[in-house]
Structure 1
Amino acid sequence: MASSPKRPWPAAVAAAAATALMLAFGFALEPVSWLMWLAPAPLLLVVPRLGFWPALLAAEAAWLGGTARIWRYLAESLEMPPVFLVVSAVMFTGMYTAVTLLYRALARRGRHWFAFLAFPSGVVAVEYVGSVVNAEAGGEWWSFAYTQADVAAVLQLASVTGIWGLTFLLMAVPAAIATAFAPGAVRKARIGIAATAAACLAATLVYGLARPVDQGETIRAGALALPTDQDSIDVDTAKADDLFAAYEAEIARIGAGDDLDVLVLSEKIFHVSAEAAGPYLERWSAVAAASGIDLVLGLAIDYPEDTFNAAVWIPADGGATGEYHKQHLIPGLEDWMTASDAGPVFVADERWALTICKDLDYTATMAAYGDQDAGLVLAPALDFTVDGWWHSRVAVTRGVEQGFSLVRAGQIGLMTVSDASGAVLAEDDRLAIADVPTGHVETVYGRLGDWLLFPVAVMLLAGIAAAIPGRRKAKQ
Structure 2
Amino acid sequence: MGDNKGRNNIDKENIKRCLCFTITVMISSIAYYFSTGIYNCSLLTWLAPIPLFIYTLEAAMVPVVFASIITYIIGFSSGVFAYSNTVIPIWILAFGNIINAIIFTILIVLFRYMVFKKKHWAWSFVFASGWTAFEFITSLHSSAGTFDSIAYTQVFNLPVIQIASITGILGVTFLLMLIPAGLALSWHYRNNSKLCLKTIIIPISILILTMIFGLYRLNVPVQGPSVKIGMASLGMSLEELRSRGQEEETEKIISRYIHCIDLLSRSGAEVILLPEKIITLNLNNQSKFLQLLADAAHKYQITLIAGLSVQEELNLYNSAYLFLPSGEIALKYDKQHLLPFSEGSYIPGQEFSIITSENKGMWGIAICKDMDFEEPSRGYSQRGINLLFVPAFDFKADDLLHARIAIMRGIEGNYAVARAAQWGLLSLSSNKGEIINIVSSNNEKNDAILIGTIQLDQGKSIYSNLGNWFGYFTEGLFILLTLFFFILNKIKPDND
The equivalent of 1:254 in structure 2 is 264
The equivalent of 1:154 in structure 2 is 160
Cα 1:343/1:162, change in 2 over 3 Å: same
The equivalent of 1:465 in structure 2 is 483
Match among 144, 152, 159 for residue 150 of structure 2: 144
How far the C-alpha of 1:132 sits from its partner, in A, is: 3.0
The equivalent of 1:200 in structure 2 is 206
How far the C-alpha of 1:291 sits from its partner, in A, is: 1.6
How far the C-alpha of 1:438 sits from its partner, in A, is: 3.3
Q: Does 2:405 match 1:394? A: yes
Match among 343, 359, 374 for residue 370 of structure 2: 359
The answer to whether the 8 Å contact 1:110/1:184 transfers is no
Cα 1:64/1:467, change in 2 over 3 Å: farther
Match among 61, 68, 88 for residue 70 of structure 2: 61
Name the CA distance, whole Å, in 1 between partners of 2:418 and 2:15. 58
Aligned residues: 466
Q: Deviations over 1:138-194 (max 9, x none)?
A: 111111111111111112111111111101111111111101111587322211222
How far the C-alpha of 1:467 sits from its partner, in A, is: 5.4
Alignment of 1:108-123 (within 5 A): 108-123=116-131
The equivalent of 1:434 in structure 2 is 452
The equivalent of 1:293 in structure 2 is 302
Cα 1:213/1:189, change in 2 over 3 Å: farther
Determine what percentage of the aligned residue pairs are the same residue.
24
Name the CA distance, whole Å, in 1 between partners of 2:399 and 2:91. 26
Q: Deviations over 1:342-365 (max 9, x none)?
A: 234436556011111111111132
Q: Does 2:14 match 1:12? A: no
Name the CA distance, whole Å, in 1 between partners of 2:429 and 2:291. 30
Cα 1:5/1:200, change in 2 over 3 Å: farther
What one-letter code is carried by the residue in structure 2 that aligns with 1:162?
G
Q: Does 2:87 match 1:87? A: no
Alignment of 1:6-405 (within 5 A): 8-74=17-83, 76-134=84-142, 137-182=143-188, 186-211=192-217, 212=220, 214=222, 216-229=224-237, 230-231=240-241, 233-256=243-266, 258-276=267-285, 278-346=287-355, 348-349=357-358, 351-405=362-416
Taking structure 2 as the reference length, the TM-score comes to: 0.88
The answer to whether the 8 Å contact 1:116/1:179 transfers is yes
Cα 1:433/1:82, change in 2 over 3 Å: closer
Cα 1:390/1:306, change in 2 over 3 Å: same
Cα 1:124/1:235, change in 2 over 3 Å: same
Moved more, 120-129 or 307-316: 120-129
The answer to whether the 8 Å contact 1:112/1:185 transfers is no
How far the C-alpha of 1:95 sits from its partner, in A, is: 0.5
Name the CA distance, whole Å, in 2 between partners of 1:335 and 1:275. 22
Cα 1:340/1:233, change in 2 over 3 Å: farther
Give unmatched runs, 5+ long, in structure 2: 1-12, 441-447
Name the CA distance, whole Å, in 1 between partners of 2:337 and 2:201. 43
Moved more, 445-454 or 272-281: 272-281
The answer to whether the 8 Å contact 2:122/2:199 transfers is no
How far the C-alpha of 1:18 sits from its partner, in A, is: 1.3
Name the CA distance, whole Å, in 2 between partners of 1:327 and 1:347. 21
Name the CA distance, whole Å, in 2 between partners of 1:65 and 1:123. 18
Name the CA distance, whole Å, in 1 between partners of 2:242 and 2:273. 16
Name the CA distance, whole Å, in 2 between partners of 1:471 and 1:207. 40
Name the CA distance, whole Å, in 2 between partners of 1:81 and 1:180. 42
Alignment root-mean-square deviation, CA: 2.3
Cα 1:277/1:140, change in 2 over 3 Å: farther
The answer to whether the 8 Å contact 2:431/2:456 transfers is no
Q: Secondary structure at the match of 2:284?
A: helix
How far the C-alpha of 1:320 sits from its partner, in A, is: 4.0
The equivalent of 1:408 in structure 2 is 419
Q: Secondary structure at the match of 1:434?
A: strand
Q: Deviations over 1:378-428 (max 9, x none)?
A: 111111111111211100111111111111101110001111111111111
Name the CA distance, whole Å, in 2 between partners of 1:112 and 1:213. 43
**Structure 1 stretches of 4+ moved >4 Å:** 4-7, 232-236, 347-350, 466-473
Q: Secondary structure at the match of 2:321?
A: strand
How far the C-alpha of 1:130 sits from its partner, in A, is: 2.6
Cα 1:15/1:465, change in 2 over 3 Å: farther
The answer to whether the 8 Å contact 2:253/2:279 transfers is no
Cα 1:123/1:313, change in 2 over 3 Å: same
The equivalent of 2:445 in structure 1 is none
Q: Deviations over 1:41-94 (max 9, x none)?
A: 0010011222211111111111111112222223x1443235523431221111
The answer to whether the 8 Å contact 1:277/1:301 transfers is no
How far the C-alpha of 1:9 sits from its partner, in A, is: 3.5
Taking structure 1 as the reference length, the TM-score comes to: 0.92
Moved more, 159-168 or 280-289: 280-289
Name the CA distance, whole Å, in 2 between partners of 1:232 and 1:447. 42
Cα 1:234/1:385, change in 2 over 3 Å: closer
The answer to whether the 8 Å contact 1:121/1:457 transfers is yes
What one-letter code is carried by the residue in structure 1 that aligns with 2:127?
F
Moved more, 272-281 or 410-419: 272-281
Cα 1:110/1:9, change in 2 over 3 Å: farther
The equivalent of 2:433 in structure 1 is 422
Q: Deviations over 1:108-145 (max 9, x none)?
A: 123332321111112212322332342xx311111111
Q: Secondary structure at the match of 2:468?
A: coil
Q: Secondary structure at the match of 2:295?
A: helix
